[in-house]
Structure 1
Amino acid sequence: MNRTVKKVAVLGSGIMGSRIACHFANIGCQVLLLDIVPKEPTAAETAKGLTLESKAVRNRIVTESFQNTLKANPAPLFSKAFADRITLGNFDDDLAKIKDYDWIIEVVVERLDIKKSIFEKVDALRKPGTLISSNTSGIPIHLMAEGRSEDFRKHFCGTHFFNPPRYLRLLEIIPTPETSPEVIDFLLHYGDLYLGKSTVLCKDTPAFIANRVGIYAMVQSIRATEELGMTVEEVDKLTSDIVGRPKSGTFRLSDVVGLDTTVHVANNLYQSLTDDESRDAFLLPSSINKLMENKWLGDKTGQGFYKKIKDENGKSVILALDLKTFEYKPSQKQKLEVIDKLKKIPALKERFAVALADKSTAGAFYRQTFGDVFRYVTYRIPEISDELFRIDEAIKAGFGWQLGLFETWDIIGLQAGIELIEGLGKKPAQWVYDLAASGIGGFYKVENGRRLFYDLPSKSYKTIPGQESFIILDNLRKTNEVWSNPEATVFDLGDGVLGLEFRSKMNTFGPNVIEGVHKAISLAEQNYRGLVIGNDSHEAFSAGANLAMLFMYSIQQEWDEVNMMIAQFQKTMTRVRYSSVPVVVAPHTLALGGGCEISLHADRVVAAAETYIGLVEVGVGVIPAGGGTKELAARCSDLYQTGDPELNILQNAFMNIATAKVSSSAQEAFEMNYLRRGDKIVLNRSRLIAEAKESVIELAEAGYTQPQPRSDIKVQGKAGIALFEAGIAQMRLAGYISDHDRKIARKLAYVISGGDLSYPQHVSEQYLLDLEREAFLSLCGEKKTLERMQGLLTGGKPPRN
């Protein structure tokens, strides 16, 4: 069957329902969002003369829920305009409309009786063949389908999105025994390609995969905190991005999610897991029970493991809960020796051996928690999944871990992991001992650029399915590396296409990365069809230039060196633009400063949907000088049409740079003119490099011709400068900007307007690049610029001087 999904009905407009509706709107679907009718009008509605028959009253619940969702931060929509794709209604008046929809998703309250009553109505109204699913996080899927028609049961399964659906990549697909294999295959593919999800096939077991393992790990970490006498701040530091997990750590994450959510899942697991050898682990530690008694549930109640207050000066202060006294005290910045050691190790995979070998209480915490959860997941196969890789994929995509548990175990070594577990007086499942005795390897291996996993039933390695759509650079590292230096690697991606990966800290542009760009283009021009510039970093595509080196030269007043650095960077960006083969850049997550500029100079950008791109140089006291200011002036010139208010178009570009505005999505990057017609958005980041490679091939086969430097960029000259000067003066007068902000803005106005020209005219790219470089160089000599650079380098935040 050739199935398509153009219209989606979401039943239930709570936090999850509204956000799921928004994400379907993000990908272009028409969405119908429904909820119940209120029992009676409010006093305010009655005062307006409204009754229960009024549409505004009948749709009040869904309208209020949806409006609250639109105000949420982070935003659930790629663009505010996408809200128009969602139609609101109620179950009584609008449920019959579902007959025209391709997929019906139930997201009502977590009660089986209510869900079954909804499905009884849906079964009578839907057209045969319509997909239908439940977003439950705990109720057995098969129970919901009882009593429904054969066609309903055939097209029904669980589709468990994680909150917030736009940002968390996991989508668990949970079929029943009666779900059609065609439906399962379709949803796995649709979730991956169209929704941008890591779609994981799950069994209909309590909490499925991610919550079963993730809640176990969270509760055991809290238990270990109590047993070892540690503080919540210490453990949050130990369980943060230092070991490849979200920066929030364990306790802060609990506050964000809501402690009641964790408790609800844990209690359900304890009640239902009568055969789990570790069932008692879901009995909650005393600290959690006391928090629940006090109704200290986290952010939703204003306090949990942390609490934010205002001091006597009105300044926000974060307090942390002392688990021994149950009193709040000012949160302390943690100075743990092991953290200092781990920070000095750039590669995440190399940190685990150091963490586990640490002799302090922190090391004991790592050994206890890693060893215990390693043991736990070995007993979950085949209970919750037949394949171990699905457990890793679920925990990574659902909880934001960079590495799965079996992946982490492979890093420290199979035998070392067994010894870690045995050191706790416990044992993993027998199949782990059998694997170790066989000597054939660990849980994963890479062969011919494809990743394989150990399959328990066959006791052999099988290819992880779906990889044909992905290019994972780590899988090519041993076989396809063409050239490398300490911070850049060039890969052969196949089909005559090269790939360039940055590997510096936050993938910033320093000498090694710049060398890598030139080398990759030279190699591509000699023997290949084109080049992809991208990476698989979890942190950033590129956070910009290497500020430390620039600061060092500037503080020493080595102006020739600074000038050479800027000229070399401009030359590098120009090389990207004027290569004789197509260059496609694949940004994702953060693409700031130089990361934005290299994207602006690409023949095509293939961006991840979650790409936050912008020219942010004013924050450190300078203007974009790697061609960024020039490029936005050129793009404005290209937008000018006869009769257009040209200064208004230029003003938008000026304000984006002057305010260091960063797009909230790749879609907004189009609206800001950082992406343009011909550039592409990819929903699933795992597909990014493969899609970029296809774009290189497409450009090459279309007869790519090397571009020539431009001399037709229309600039506004004095008219533009005058407009910006007036606005800058007003902002300074109102106190919105400082004197130094004004100085930077005036430099930017001068460059983006093309200098002090008497009338609008056409100039060359090189002319604008020279203006950029001159302005940048002069600002590097300013004391307040150096203070901003130093603030970012030492404290992570430049001062507003």
Structure 2
Amino acid sequence: MNRTIKKVAVLGSGVMGSRIACHFANIGVQVLLLDIAPKELTPDEEKKGLKLEAAAVRNRIVNAALQAAIVANPSPLYRKADASRIKTGNFDDNLKEIAGCDWTIEVVIERLDIKKGLYEKVEQFRKPGTLITSNTSGIPIHLLAEGRSEDFKQHFAGTHFFNPPRYLKLLEIIPTPDTKPEVLDFLQHYGDLYLGKTVVLAKDTPGFIANRVGVFALLDAMQTMQKLGLTVEETDKLTGPVIGHAKSATLRTSDVVGLDTTINVANGLAQGLPNDEAKDVFVLPDFVKKMGESKWLGDKTGQGFYKKVKGEGGKSEIHALDLSTMEYKPSQKVKFATLEMTKTIEKLADRFKVLVAGKDKAGEFYRLSFGSLFSYVSNRIPEISDGLFKLDDALRAGFGWEMGPFETWDALGVQAGLDLAKAAGRTPAPWVEEMLAAGNTTFYKVTEAGVRQFYDIASKSYQSVPGVENFIILDNLRASGKVLWKNSGASVIDLGDGILNVEFHSKMNALGTDVIQGLLKGVEMAEAGYRGLVVGNDAPNFSAGANLGLVYMQALDQDFDELNMMIQQFQQAMMRMRYSSIPVVGTPHGLTLGGGCELNLHCDRVVAAAESYIGLVEFGVGLIPGGGGTKEMTLRTALKYEDGEPEFNLLRNTYMTISTAKVSTSAAEAFDLGYLRRGDEVVLNSNRVIAQAKAAAIDMADAGYTQPLQKTNIKVHGKGALAMFKTGVYAMQQGNYISTHDQLIADKLAYVMCGGDLSSPTEVSEQYLLDLEREAFLSLCGERKTLERIQSILTTGKPLRN
């Protein structure tokens, strides 16, 4: 059946329901968002003389929930305007409208009786053949389908989104025995391509996959912490970024999510898993029970494992719970010798062997926790999944782990992981030793063709990981020998079909000398014997910008000749990419700031991940964009002058974007800010970006790409516009809205964008603007207050407004 999703009904407008509705609105789908109608008036409604029958009253709950979502931070919407695609209503008056919907998603309270009662009503109006799914995270899917019609059962499944649905990539699909295979195929395809999710097919077992393993890991960390006498701060230090987990680690995450949620999920799993070999882990530690009884539930109650208090002078301080006394004490900095040894190890996979070899409490913690985790996941197959790769996918996408449990186990070595599990008092599943005995020494391997395979327990052989045929994974290409050139900051990789890729691997993908060399090498190699070039990487962020530390050191030493040469090389590299004989495609994703933004501004086309935070942020460190960004944004603005809007207005909008260091909150917003333009693409699933960029490069090559000519007819407005900007900036400074140094930077930016103090509007070249841009950048590098701003960012990570 050829199925198209034009309209979706979301039943339940709570935190999850409203945000699922927003994410469908993000991708252009019409949404019907429904909730219960109130049973009584509020005092405000009574004062207004409203009746229960009034539409404003009957839709009060759903409208309030949607409004809360719209103003939430981080926003569940790509653009606030996308909320216009959501129509609200209530179950009594509007449930009949689901007859016009292609997919109905139930997201009401986690009670079987309430859900089943709603389904009974849904069956009266739902059009046969349309999708019906539940977002439940704890109720068995087969129980929800009991008593329903055959058509309902055939088109029913669990679709478990993770909160917040826009940002967390996991979507677990849980079928019932009656769910049609084509329905499952469609849900997996749609979730991947249209919703941008990592879709994992799960079995109908308690907690499904991610929560089952993720909550086990959380509770096991709590018990190990108690066993070793570790503090709250020590535990979070050990379970955060050092092992590829979120900065909020374990206990801070529990505070954010709410300890009551942890307690409810743990209790549910403890009751639902009487035969789990590690059921002892799901028994809550005494300190968690006490915290629950005291309503110390985290951020929602003002205190949990951490508590924010007012210290001396009214300054906020973070206190941490002392588990031995159950009292709060000032949070302490944590230091372990084992962690110190990993500081120079950039690659996550290389850290694990050092961590488990530690001779201090940190090493002991890792030996126990990894041993328990490895044993647990080995025993979950085939109970919760037939393929081990699904567990890794689920934990990476749902809990934000950089590496899944089996990937981590591989990094340590399968035999070493088995030894850790046994030493921790756990019993791994027999299939692991059988796998080793057969000569299979890893859970994953990459073929010579760059295809990733996993060990399939049923067939006792390696099988290709399904569902990634349309992805290009650079690690796999690297493992299969596709790297053609590399230095310490960049690599040139052959993507096949005549397309090369330049990948960065500097810290935060900062654009330093090595990366610039890699970009130039990539263009040179592509022009010599290939059809196109992609600039892409698989890191969480495309690039945090130019190497600010290098700029700072040269400016501090007043080595302005060297600094001038460095900026000139950066500008020339950007122009080399823009005016090469082959098409160049950029792939922004995550943070794409400063120099990273400038790079994409100079690509022929951009294929951006939906979650791209793009911006020229140099103003915050006392500079203006100096790698061609100011020139390019001025050029793009000049190209709009024939659209009818007053030219000064267009220029002012661009000027404000740069001078306020605006960063797009999504790729969609990047179009509004001018960082993306017509012809650029947005891809919902970030895993697909490089493959789509390769396809774009091929399309341009096939269409007969011709090397463009540098522009020499960019209209600038000279003194007229410059006076306007300076007057406005002066007024801002006099009103104490900005500092005198802000005024200096803003005036220099205006000078470049207006083409200098030309007496009348004039057409200038790109090189003319580049020279002005570089001159302004260098002069600001000589300002003490600029150096203070750069130093603040480098040392504290916080902007300084001096």
Give the C-alpha shift of residue 643 in structure 1: 4.8
Give the C-alpha shift of residue 336 in structure 1: 3.0
Aligned to 1:641, the other structure's residue is in SS state helix
Using the alignment, how far apart are the partners of 1:322 and 1:578 within structure 2?
Answer: 61
Aligned to 2:276, the other structure's residue is in SS state coil
Using the alignment, how far apart are the partners of 1:106 and 1:761 within structure 2?
Answer: 61
Give the C-alpha shift of residue 419 in structure 1: 1.3
Using the alignment, how far apart are the partners of 1:703 and 1:783 within structure 2?
Answer: 50
Post-superposition Cα deviations, 1:91-143, rounded to whole Å, max 9, x if no partner, equal 00000000000000000000000000110111121111010000000000011
Using the alignment, how far apart are the partners of 2:56 and 2:312 within structure 1?
Answer: 45
Give the C-alpha shift of residue 642 in structure 1: 6.4
Aligned to 1:690: 691
Aligned to 1:328, the other structure's residue is in SS state strand
Aligned to 1:368: 368
Give the C-alpha shift of residue 455 in structure 1: 0.5
Using the alignment, how far apart are the partners of 2:533 and 2:613 within structure 1?
Answer: 23
Decide whether aligned partners of structure 1 residues 642 and 508 sit closer, same or farther in structure 2, where only a CA change above 3 A counts.
Answer: closer
Aligned to 1:611: 612
Give the C-alpha shift of residue 742 in structure 1: 1.4
Post-superposition Cα deviations, 1:601-624, rounded to whole Å, max 9, x if no partner, equal 000000000000100111111110
Decide whether aligned partners of structure 1 residues 643 and 474 sit closer, same or farther in structure 2, where only a CA change above 3 A counts.
Answer: closer
Aligned to 1:409: 409
Are residue 746 (structure 1) and residue 747 (structure 2) matched? yes
Aligned to 1:32, the other structure's residue is in SS state strand
Aligned to 2:534: 532
Aligned to 2:234: 234
Using the alignment, how far apart are the partners of 2:91 and 2:745 within structure 1?
Answer: 56
Contact 2:338 2:359 in 1 (8 A): no
Aligned to 1:569: 570
Quote the sequence identity (%).
63
- More moved, 648-657 vs 418-427: 418-427
Aligned to 2:89: 89
Are residue 186 (structure 1) and residue 189 (structure 2) matched? no
Using the alignment, how far apart are the partners of 2:535 and 2:248 within structure 1?
Answer: 30
Post-superposition Cα deviations, 1:43-87, rounded to whole Å, max 9, x if no partner, equal 111111110010000000001111111121110000001000000
The 5-angstrom pairing of residues 504-653 of structure 1 reads: 504-538=506-540, 540-641=541-642, 643-653=644-654
Using the alignment, how far apart are the partners of 1:744 and 1:55 within structure 2?
Answer: 53
Contact 1:206 1:269 in 2 (8 A): yes
Give the C-alpha shift of residue 315 in structure 1: 2.4
Give the C-alpha shift of residue 476 in structure 1: 0.4
Give the C-alpha shift of residue 312 in structure 1: 4.5
Aligned to 2:421: 421
Using the alignment, how far apart are the partners of 1:343 and 1:607 within structure 2?
Answer: 32
Aligned to 1:49, the other structure's residue is in SS state coil
Aligned to 1:222: 222
- More moved, 724-733 vs 291-300: 724-733
Supply the AA of the counterpart residue of 1:94: N
Contact 1:12 1:35 in 2 (8 A): yes
Aligned to 2:123: 123
The 5-angstrom pairing of residues 109-258 of structure 1 reads: 109-258=109-258
Using the alignment, how far apart are the partners of 2:332 and 2:799 within structure 1?
Answer: 22
Contact 1:514 1:572 in 2 (8 A): yes
Using the alignment, how far apart are the partners of 1:422 and 1:312 within structure 2?
Answer: 50
Aligned to 2:488: 486
Post-superposition Cα deviations, 1:335-372, rounded to whole Å, max 9, x if no partner, equal 33333322211111111111111111111111111111
Aligned to 2:469, the other structure's residue is in SS state helix
Give the C-alpha shift of residue 436 in structure 1: 1.5
Using the alignment, how far apart are the partners of 1:236 and 1:768 within structure 2?
Answer: 49
Supply the AA of the counterpart residue of 2:589: H
Supply the AA of the counterpart residue of 1:69: A
Contact 1:787 1:798 in 2 (8 A): no
Aligned to 2:453: 452
Using the alignment, how far apart are the partners of 1:344 and 1:354 within structure 2?
Answer: 11
Using the alignment, how far apart are the partners of 2:353 and 2:584 within structure 1?
Answer: 39
Supply the AA of the counterpart residue of 1:533: V
Using the alignment, how far apart are the partners of 2:329 and 2:646 within structure 1?
Answer: 57
TM-score by length of 1: 0.99
Give the C-alpha shift of residue 795 in structure 1: 2.0
Contact 1:450 1:467 in 2 (8 A): no
Using the alignment, how far apart are the partners of 1:126 and 1:92 within structure 2?
Answer: 15
Supply the AA of the counterpart residue of 1:216: F
Give the C-alpha shift of residue 309 in structure 1: 2.5
- More moved, 460-469 vs 15-24: 460-469
Aligned to 1:716: 717
Give the C-alpha shift of residue 90 in structure 1: 0.3
Using the alignment, how far apart are the partners of 2:452 and 2:359 within structure 1?
Answer: 35
Cα RMSD (Å) of the superposition?
A: 1.0
Using the alignment, how far apart are the partners of 1:74 and 1:150 within structure 2?
Answer: 41
- More moved, 383-392 vs 347-356: 347-356
Decide whether aligned partners of structure 1 residues 33 and 353 sit closer, same or farther in structure 2, where only a CA change above 3 A counts.
Answer: same
- More moved, 618-627 vs 717-726: 717-726
Aligned to 2:626, the other structure's residue is in SS state coil
Using the alignment, how far apart are the partners of 2:631 and 2:729 within structure 1?
Answer: 20
Q: For 2:498, which of 472, 496, 500 is the aligned residue?
A: 496
Q: Where in structure 2 are there 5+ consecutive unaligned residues? A: none
Using the alignment, how far apart are the partners of 1:652 and 1:331 within structure 2?
Answer: 45
Aligned to 1:343, the other structure's residue is in SS state coil
Aligned to 1:762: 763
Using the alignment, how far apart are the partners of 1:575 and 1:245 within structure 2?
Answer: 38
Q: Where in structure 1 are there 5+ consecutive unaligned residues? A: none
Supply the AA of the counterpart residue of 2:74: P
Post-superposition Cα deviations, 1:498-531, rounded to whole Å, max 9, x if no partner, equal 1110000001111111110000000100111100
Using the alignment, how far apart are the partners of 1:370 and 1:726 within structure 2?
Answer: 63
The 5-angstrom pairing of residues 18-29 of structure 1 reads: 18-29=18-29
Supply the AA of the counterpart residue of 2:528: Q
Are residue 432 (structure 1) and residue 436 (structure 2) matched? no
Aligned to 1:523, the other structure's residue is in SS state helix
Post-superposition Cα deviations, 1:454-489, rounded to whole Å, max 9, x if no partner, equal 011110000011221000000000321111111111
